[in-house]
């Protein structure tokens, strides 16, 4: 039966979700943290359900944590790697989706290098779809796990000041976080060179800083982003050395943030590029490992919620919109 507090079939992005919907997802996820920490992690909330992880882009954390999240709740999981799939043989995204749909999965978790591809795919299947990251567009479960980490550490989201630093331009993590945090009443600052943090970002209800020391002043959270060279089509920074000097998080720059400011990074980290090992591994301040832990809890909540929301009658009807399955 559809959960009235989150009446959606898919989770394609954070944009458009309401504060109570976000709150509900975080509350559900919070309920799974102790289960994951206990000796007996198994439950049967998704017994009989099938989850397919369809990843057209590399992933370590996201794919494994979706897999664990499904298995810990008793679901069957299939992992589809692009290199071994028929996509490598020229099958289109939609053909692949329609083929998988014919196997009646309950939830498809999709990662794709093109922004908007996951939404397109969601229109062609009867099951629930979770966006596991589409291009530089959105990565909703990352923003949820970041928010859960912050909420558990600071007790709230509203009224906090969060700095998101670095390669905002190419970052789906940044975009989903901006939507989530501004929706929840958090003050968001973006910090980086103009080439990576365009002034137009201010339209998203955030403050933009090119000087990292100024931007970090009095922040409660410092969220670092990876320099996503694989998405860059030109020269965005003069050199890695120069970038680290101005925008790499080190002790000195961190000293401008609040003394109890937390350090976050979605991973994978480029040590010595956007973050110094000294601060990344500071157990007092860095919650990077905790983010990974919260990722499993968030994905457990999302998978179970969407599987529960699936309208079984509709799901079992043959899908007619995509040229047959
Ligand atoms: N893992 C995150 C993502 O998939 C961040 C990154 O790759 O830098 O977007």
Report yes or no on 71 lying in a domain.
yes
Calculate the dihedral angle through the C-alpha atoms of 125, 91, 62, 250, rounding to the nearest 10 degrees: -130
Tell which atom from ligand 1 comes closest to the C-alpha of 57.
4
pLDDT of residue 325: 30
**Quick one: 62 and 135 in the same domain?**
yes
Nearest CA to ligand 1 atom 8: 226
Q: Are residues 117 and 50 in the same domain?
A: yes
Domain count, the chain: 2
**How large is the average pLDDT for residues 13-29?**
98
Distance 275 CA to ligand 1 centre (A): 15
> Does one domain contain both 175 and 259?
yes
Q: Which atom of ligand 1 is nearest to the CA of 225?
A: 8
- Answer yes or no: is 267 a known binding residue: yes
Which domain range does residue 178 map to? 140-287
Mean pLDDT, all residues of the chain: 92
pLDDT at 322: 42
Residue 3 lies in a domain: no
List the single range of 24-33, 173-182, 200-209 with lowest mean pLDDT: 200-209
Residue 1 resides in a domain: no
Shared domain for 305 and 277, answered yes or no, is no
CB 153 within 8 A of CB 285: no
Instruction: For residues 173 and 161, state if they share a domain.
Output: yes
Mean of pLDDT values over 261-269: 97
CATH number of the domain where residue 45 is located: 3.40.50.1370
Going by C-alpha positions, the residue among 119, 76, 69, 77 that lies closest to residue 97 is 119
Nearest to 54 by CA among 14, 76, 85: 85
The per-residue pLDDT for range 45-78, each reduced to its tens digit, is 999 999 999 999 989 899 999 999 999 999 999 9
How far is residue 59 from each of residues 8, 110, 267, measured CA to CA in Å?
26, 11, 10
Distance 257 CA to ligand 1 centre (A): 24
What is the 177 CA–ligand 1 centroid distance (Å)? Answer: 12
Ligand 1 centre to CA of 191 (Å) is 18
Please indicate if the annotation marks 62 as binding a ligand: yes
- Is 175 annotated in a binding site? The answer is no
Give the residue, out of 173, 192, 273, with the most ligand 1 atoms within 8 A of its beta carbon, to mutate for a pocket test: 173
Q: Is 111 annotated as a binding residue?
A: yes
Residue 320 confidence (pLDDT): 45
Residue 318: its pLDDT value, please? Answer: 53
Distance between Cα 60 and ligand 1 center (Å): 10
Same domain, 157 and 42: no
**Could you report the per-residue pLDDT of 28-49, keeping only the tens digit for each?**
999 999 999 999 998 999 999 9
- Is 198 marked as binding a ligand? no
Determine, yes or no, domain membership for 2.
no
H-type helices in the chain, by residue range?
19-37, 61-71, 93-101, 117-122, 140-154, 172-183, 212-216, 240-247, 251-254, 277-280, 288-309, 312-315
Show the ligand 1 pocket: residues with CB < 6 angstroms: 133, 139, 172-173, 226, 228, 266-267
């Amino acid at each position: 039966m559809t959960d009235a507090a989150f009446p959606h079939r898919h989770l394609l992005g954070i944009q458009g979700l309401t504060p109570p919907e976000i709150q509900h997802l975080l509350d559900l996820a919070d309920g799974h943290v102790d289960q994951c920490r206990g000796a007996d992690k198994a439950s049967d909330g998704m017994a009989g359900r099938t989850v397919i992880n369809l990843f057209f882009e590399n992933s370590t954390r996201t794919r494994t944590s979706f897999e664990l999240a499904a298995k810990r709740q008793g679901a069957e999981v299939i992992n589809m790697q692009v290199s071994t799939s028929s996509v490598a043989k020229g099958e289109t995204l939609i053909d692949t989706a329609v083929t998988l749909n014919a196997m009646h999965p309950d939830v498809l978790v999709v990662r794709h290098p093109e922004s908007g591809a996951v939404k397109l795919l969601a229109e062609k299947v009867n099951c629930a779809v979770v966006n596991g990251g589409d291009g530089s567009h959105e990565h909703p479960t990352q923003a949820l796990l970041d928010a859960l980490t912050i909420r558990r550490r600071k007790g709230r989201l509203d009224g906090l000041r969060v700095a998101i630093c670095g390669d905002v331009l190419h970052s789906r993590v940044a975009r989903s976080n901006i939507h989530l945090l501004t929706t929840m009443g958090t003050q968001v600052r973006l910090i980086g060179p103009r080439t990576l943090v365009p002034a137009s970002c201010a339209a998203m209800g955030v403050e933009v800083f090119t000087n990292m020391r100024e931007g970090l002043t009095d922040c409660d959270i410092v969220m670092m982003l990876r320099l996503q060279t694989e998405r860059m089509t030109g020269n965005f920074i003069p050199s890695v050395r120069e970038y680290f000097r101005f925008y790499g998080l080190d002790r000195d720059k961190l000293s401008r943030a609040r003394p109890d400011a937390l350090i976050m990074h979605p991973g994978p980290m480029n040590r010595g590029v956007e973050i110094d090992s000294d601060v990344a591994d500071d157990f007092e301040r860095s919650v990077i490992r905790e983010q990974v832990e919260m990722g499993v809890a968030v994905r457990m909540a999302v998978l179970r919620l969407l599987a529960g929301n699936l309208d079984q009658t509709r799901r079992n009807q043959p899908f007619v919109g995509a040229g047959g399955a």
